[in-house]
């Protein structure tokens, strides 16, 4: 009898955990929906750009079955169509759907937050909005999370269920924590993602050293484009005014430190500013896009502006 009771208790706990997970997904979806339209409009410019500037010198990629009302009838390949008995059009390399890859930092420092949202929660809204916008315009979406290693990776797909699979991972508390190895994550991308891809790296870029610089340059040289999105909490860069001792905890080692705020504030903010600027400089020198947003600020406008500047959209 005790074994049955224990099993029933385990099932009840699992059902309760699943119910909470589903509620988190619903809450996240509501927030994403508020942002996704502007991003969808931005990504849609990319399709318009392809159509307007498509030229005769582009590399032929493959034949695609003609869809009335959607495809340009003047591009029907009549020889291929006569051979098969079905209508086909020529599709060029430039026209093929992009692979949009979102790489989300799940390291311990992303669980920090002093504003309305933890960094991981805010980053999930950004990631979800990009994924939803990409799927809506028909591109292939891939999603990965990393800490000390790649935790999970969904290969690019334009299936709408890709969005819900990614959201389910984003709200899973068990996937967050540990140290950070961006270098390893980028090398995974380098070896597993096709050239016709755009990579979004969403992270606070804290506690990951600088080994990833060379990997970023290699990924940027290979892929269509790379964009870094730095997510910071206000206290990552600015300490509150005042004096007195405060207790700080290292998210990677769990070590604690008592700090005199009055003495440390100026030096802390200087070092934080230098570290943030160094990350930005690395992205720029790698010919990659970069924005920084705080968790209490909107992210769509600076993201769209950076995309426009880089002529991606």
pLDDT above 70 for 232: yes
pLDDT bracket for residue 4 (50, 70, 90): low
pLDDT tens digits, one per residue of 27-85 = 888 878 767 666 766 665 554 444 443 444 445 556 777 778 667 777 777 777 777 77
Phi-psi region of 173 (alpha: psi -120 to 50; beta: other; left: phi over 0): alpha
pLDDT bracket for residue 96 (50, 70, 90): low
In total, the chain counts a number of residues equal to 313
DSSP annotation of 178 = S
- Short-list 166, 164, 208, CA closest to 186: 208
106 touches 120 (CB < 8 A)? yes
Percent of the chain with pLDDT strictly greater than 90: 49
Can you point out the beta strands (E) in 93-149? 99-105, 140-146
DSSP β-ladder status, 197-203 and 225-232: parallel
- Short-list 70, 21, 75, CA closest to 47: 70
**Predicted local confidence at residue 301, as pLDDT:** 85
Strand partners for 142: 101
DSSP β-ladder status, 140-146 and 150-157: antiparallel
**Predicted local confidence at residue 199, as pLDDT:** 96
* pTM as predicted: 0.78
pLDDT tens digits, one per residue of 181-229 = 999 999 999 999 999 899 999 999 999 999 999 999 999 999 989 999 9
The mean of the pLDDT values for the chain is 84
Residue where the block lists tokens 């695609």:
64
What are the CB-based long-range contacts (under 8 Å, 24+) for 11-14?
none
- The alpha-helical segments, DSSP class H, found in 137-287 are 161-170, 182-192, 212-222, 234-237, 261-285
**Predicted local confidence at residue 90, as pLDDT:** 67
Which residue segments constitute the domains of the chain, with CATH numbers given? 32-47+97-309 (3.40.50.410), 60-94 (no CATH)
CA 309 to CA 313: how far, in whole Å? 9
Q: At what angle do helices 212-222 and 182-192 cross, to 10 degrees?
A: 20
Sign of the torsion formed by the C-alpha atoms of 24, 27, 29 and 35: negative
């Amino acid at each position: 009898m005790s074994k049955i009771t224990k099993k029933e208790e385990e099932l009840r706990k699992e059902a309760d955990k699943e119910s909470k997970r589903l509620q988190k997904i619903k809450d996240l979806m509501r927030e994403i929906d508020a942002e996704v339209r502007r991003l969808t409009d931005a990504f849609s410019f990319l399709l318009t750009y392809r159509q307007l500037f498509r030229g005769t010198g582009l590399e032929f990629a493959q034949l695609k079955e003609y869809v009335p009302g959607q495809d340009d009838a003047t591009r029907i390949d009549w020889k291929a169509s006569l051979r098969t008995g079905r209508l086909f059009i020529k599709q060029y390399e430039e026209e093929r759907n992009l692979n949009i890859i979102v790489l989300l930092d799940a390291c311990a420092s992303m669980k920090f937050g002093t504003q309305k949202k933890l960094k991981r929660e805010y980053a999930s809204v950004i990631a979800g909005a990009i994924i939803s916008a990409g799927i809506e315009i028909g591109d292939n979406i891939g999603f990965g999370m990393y800490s000390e290693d790649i935790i999970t990776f969904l290969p690019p797909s334009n299936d709408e269920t890709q969005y819900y699979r990614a959201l389910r991972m984003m709200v899973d508390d068990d996937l967050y924590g540990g140290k950070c190895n961006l270098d390893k994550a980028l090398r995974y991308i380098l070896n597993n993602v096709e050239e016709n891809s755009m990579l979004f790296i969403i992270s606070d870029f804290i506690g990951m050293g600088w080994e990833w610089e060379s990997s970023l340059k290699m990924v940027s040289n290979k892929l269509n484009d790379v964009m870094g999105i730095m997510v910071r909490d206000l206290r990552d860069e600015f300490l509150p005014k005042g004096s007195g001792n405060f207790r700080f905890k290292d998210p990677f080692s769990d070590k604690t430190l008592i700090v005199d705020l009055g003495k440390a504030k100026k030096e802390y903010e200087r070092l934080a500013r230098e570290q943030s600027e160094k990350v930005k400089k690395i992205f720029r020198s790698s010919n990659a896009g970069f924005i920084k947003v705080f968790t209490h600020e909107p992210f769509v406008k600076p993201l769209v502006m950076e995309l426009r500047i880089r002529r991606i959209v």
